[in-house]
């Protein structure tokens, strides 16, 4: 598929109680309605890498929004990122993510009545949690994210799930990955789960060369695009 010409900009959307949440919106410039995706940040914040992922989706014919769940704060060091992640209210973050779904669906840019969610690291867990809570999630992608607690929440998921993990991720593999796979099977949720040998946590992040694994990242990206093209509304 030929790459689309795109545009990207910071926007603000309502998340209830008068709250306005910033987010980065990327979309094709050609008029039309496209499948929509919410891109959920790692624990660093809405940094340039996550904006770039949103732009990659736009280039592939999607409309993508990345909510700024830290509302302007970006961490540079792991200790700072850990502090921001711990201070974040996960329930509030889920409201802001589901509000981003609503923003896309009412933007005039998105086809159909369902949107994809994708998250990385902390955002991977939030992607799965959002799918547990919102029937408007048409397909959820989890890049090395933690499982919801309790895990049986996955029974509420209405769309398919794609899980992407690295076998060198000692925090998640194999226990958390097997737990999720078993729960999805138990509750008969359509799913695909892939693991990559020698890939560490956050192996998709090309902004961090020490952990980036190009071959695995490219394959995971191809699987993600194919998954969304199968399960989200098509462009009109």
**Alpha carbon of residue 80 to chain centroid:** 22
Residues 6+ apart with CB under 8 A from 215: none
Does 217 score more than 90 pLDDT?
Answer: yes
What are the tens digits of pLDDT across the range 96-145?
A: 999 999 999 999 999 999 999 999 999 999 999 999 999 999 999 999 99
Q: State the pLDDT confidence band at 215, using cuts at 50, 70 and 90.
A: very high
Residue 169 catalytic?
A: yes
Considering the chain, what is the average pLDDT of its residues?
A: 95
Does 1 score more than 70 pLDDT?
Answer: no
Residue 205 catalytic?
A: no
What are the tens digits of pLDDT across the range 71-109?
A: 999 999 999 999 999 999 999 999 999 999 999 999 999
Please report the pLDDT score of residue 103 as a whole number: 96
Active-site choice (132, 201, 205, 231): 201
Q: Which two tokens stand for residue 87?
A: 């201070």
Please check whether residue 172 is in contact with residue 163, taking contact to mean a CB–CB distance below 8 angstroms: no
Residue 121 catalytic?
A: yes
- In order of their start, the domains of the chain are 6-231 (3.40.50.1820)
**Alpha carbon of residue 19 to chain centroid:** 22
CA distance 140 to 224: 10
For the entire predicted model, the pTM comes to 0.96
| Beta-sheet pairing, 161-166 with 191-196 | parallel
């Amino acid at each position: 598929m030929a790459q689309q010409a795109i545009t990207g900009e910071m926007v603000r959307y309502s998340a209830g109680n008068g709250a306005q949440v910033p987010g980065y919106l990327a979309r094709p410039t050609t008029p039309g309605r496209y499948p929509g995706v919410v891109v959920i940040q790692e624990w660093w914040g809405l940094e340039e890498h996550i904006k770039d992922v949103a732009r990659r989706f736009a280039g592939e014919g999607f409309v993508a929004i990345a909510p700024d769940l830290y509302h302007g704060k970006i961490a540079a060091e792991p200790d700072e990122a850990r502090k921001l992640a711990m201070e974040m209210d996960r329930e509030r973050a889920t409201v802001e993510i589901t509000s981003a779904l609503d923003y896309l669906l009412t933007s005039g840019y998105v086809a159909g009545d369902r949107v994809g969610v994708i998250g990385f690291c902390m955002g991977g867990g939030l992607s799965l949690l959002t799918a547990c809570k919102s029937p408007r999630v048409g397909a959820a992608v989890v890049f090395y994210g933690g499982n919801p607690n309790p895990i049986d929440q996955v029974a509420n998921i209405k769309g398919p799930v794609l899980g992407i993990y690295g076998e060198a991720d000692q925090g998640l593999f194999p226990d958390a990955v097997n737990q999720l796979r078993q729960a999805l099977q138990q509750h008969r949720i359509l799913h695909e789960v892939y693991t990559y040998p020698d890939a560490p946590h956050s192996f998709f992040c090309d902004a961090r060369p020490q952990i980036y694994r190009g071959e695995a990242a490219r394959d995971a990206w191809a699987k993600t695009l194919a998954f969304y093209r199968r399960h989200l509304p098509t462009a009109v």
